[in-house]
Amino acid sequence: MRQRHEFHVDSVRYLDEHGHPLDDLPSQASDTERVLAAYRNMVLTRTFDAKAIALQRTGKCGTYPSALGHEVIGTAIGQALAASDVFVPYYRDQATHLLRGVTLQEMLLYWGGDERGSAWQACPQDLPVAVPIATQCCHAVGVASAFRIRGEARAVLCCVGDGGTSKGDFLESLNLAGAWHLPVVFVAINNQWAISTPRRLQTGAETIAQKAIGAGLPGHVVDGNDYFASVDVLDAALARAHAGKGATLIEAVTYRLGDHTTADDATRYRDAEELRRAWDRDGVKRLRLWLHDQGLWNADLEQQWQAECKERVEQAVNAYLATEPEPATAMLDSLFETLPAALAGQRERLASRSGGGES
């Protein structure tokens, strides 16, 4: 006697590669201000990104992970989140951070090797960048649990890369989100690569979204280069979380248009032709074309905004470069709320050495 249990995930797209609607657009498309703000954030992110890479190349910044190709989904996430929600990022979420109020200078400090780059003023409850892959997923369910325990109608949104979806942290957290009906949205940013490892080597599953099924959660694939599809799916998932209806997994399909980080050389393992085709699907261009078609944007506006972005980034870079490093004693001062007596001697030693450099 055989019985069948059926499951599904859906996938969503609204715009084709030329910015032409494939379908009726969702209601968010009529919110012109939101769409324009989104586009502007994408361009700002891209401008910042190029500059950070340039700084690294000239020795003025550390290893930096480019967000090229992540601007659309990152922006959609930033817009979908309420200020009172908590964002749990991985390390390629610059577009979202900007909308949360993280400053360009803070981002530069962080990648420039200064811990103060995570002391975000504008979004003090957001979690900092998580370097150990997927570990942040567990924090996300913890934050969501805190909201549920306190009866707060707040939600958590957690990003993780396609590579990260292979790691236990993600899978365990997804499972808890389902078991506990937590107000959390997981966004798996599937940019097709985990450093040199292509998506197909991460999992035999056809989609990443279907990993939701094993946790009893709804899963959606969305074109992460399609702004309207992204906001539509994100808004719905966050509404669900806010309403106490539980968690969602969204797979946002995009492409890592740059190297993994400035320490990487993707030409070693990646086909030039594949990269070229990915540029055809670039979501920033796609939204710009749509805005042009709507008469909401033009070359002049583009030029003005690009100039403004450059100016803002330039200012942030100057402020960043003018920032003195912390004193060496800082390495002990935030370790505990109060320095334990056992460490007093070490702090004295640090304090007594000028900057702690070579003697």
Ligand X SMILES: Cc1ncc(C[n+]2csc(CCOP(=O)(O)OP(=O)(O)O)c2C)c(N)n1
Site for a second copy in 161-190 (CB under 8 A): 166-169, 171-172, 175, 177-181
| Minimum CB–partner distance for residue 176 and Mg ion (Å) | 18
CA 145, CA 252: separation in Å to the nearest integer? 24
194 counts as binding Mg ion under rule CB under 5 A: yes
Among the listed residues 256, 270, 286, 288, the single catalytic one is: 256
92 binds, options Mg ion, another protein, ligand X, none, Cβ within 5 to 8 A by partner type = ligand X
- Per-position x/- string for 180-209, each x denoting binding to ligand X as judged by CB under 6 A, each - no binding: ---------x-x-xxx--------------
Which residue type sits at 349?
A: R
206 counts as binding a second copy under rule CB under 8 A: yes
Does 312 qualify as catalytic in the annotation? no
- Bridge partners of residue 194, in order along the sequence: 197
- Bridge partners of residue 185, in order along the sequence: 157, 248
| Minimum CB–partner distance for residue 228 and a second copy (Å) | 11
64 counts as binding ligand X under rule CB under 6 A: no
User: Is 305 within 8 Å of 312 (Cβ atoms)?
Assistant: no
Q: Count CB atoms within 10 A of the CB of residue 125.
A: 14
Burial of residue 183, with CB atoms counted within 10 A of its CB: 0-12 exposed, 13-18 middle, 19 or more buried = buried
Nearer to another protein, 5 or 200 (CB): 200
Residues 161-180 within binding reach of ligand X (CB under 6 A):
161-164
Does 320 qualify as catalytic in the annotation? no
14 counts as binding a second copy under rule CB under 8 A: yes
Residues 232-261 within binding reach of ligand X (CB under 6 A):
256, 260
191 binds, options ligand X, a second copy, another protein, none, Cβ within 5 to 8 A by partner type = ligand X
- Bridge partners of residue 220, in order along the sequence: 10, 250
The encoded tokens of residue 330 equal 């800082």
- Per-position x/- string for 215-244, each x denoting binding to a second copy as judged by CB under 8 A, each - no binding: xxx---x-----------------------
Does 347 qualify as catalytic in the annotation? no
HEC profile of 223-234: ECCCHHHHHHHH
Residues 6+ apart with CB under 8 A from 265: 259
Give the chain's end-to-end CA distance (angstroms, integer). Answer: 79
Nearer to ligand X, 103 or 254 (CB): 254
User: Is 221 within 8 Å of 251 (Cβ atoms)?
Assistant: yes
Q: Which stretch binds ligand X (CB under 6 A): 129-137, 145-153, 319-327, 346-354?
A: 129-137
CA 117, CA 320: separation in Å to the nearest integer? 10
165 counts as binding Mg ion under rule CB under 5 A: no
| Minimum CB–partner distance for residue 221 and ligand X (Å) | 16
Radius of gyration in angstroms for the set of CA atoms belonging to the chain, rounded to a whole number? 21
CA 69, CA 72: separation in Å to the nearest integer? 7
| Minimum CB–partner distance for residue 337 and another protein (Å) | 4
CA angle, residues 76, 123, 212, in degrees to nearest 5: 45
4 counts as binding a second copy under rule CB under 8 A: yes
Nearest to 287 by CA among 74, 53, 11: 74
Burial of residue 61, with CB atoms counted within 10 A of its CB: 0-12 exposed, 13-18 middle, 19 or more buried = buried
Q: Which of 143, 212, 238, 287 binds a second copy (CB under 8 A)?
A: 212
| Minimum CB–partner distance for residue 182 and a second copy (Å) | 10
The encoded tokens of residue 202 equal 């991460």
210 binds, options Mg ion, a second copy, ligand X, none, Cβ within 5 to 8 A by partner type = a second copy
Catalogue the active-site residues.
256, 260, 269
Interface residues with ligand X (CB under 6 A)?
A: 92, 131-133, 161-164, 189, 191, 193-195, 256, 260
Interface residues with Mg ion (CB under 5 A)?
A: 161-162, 191, 194
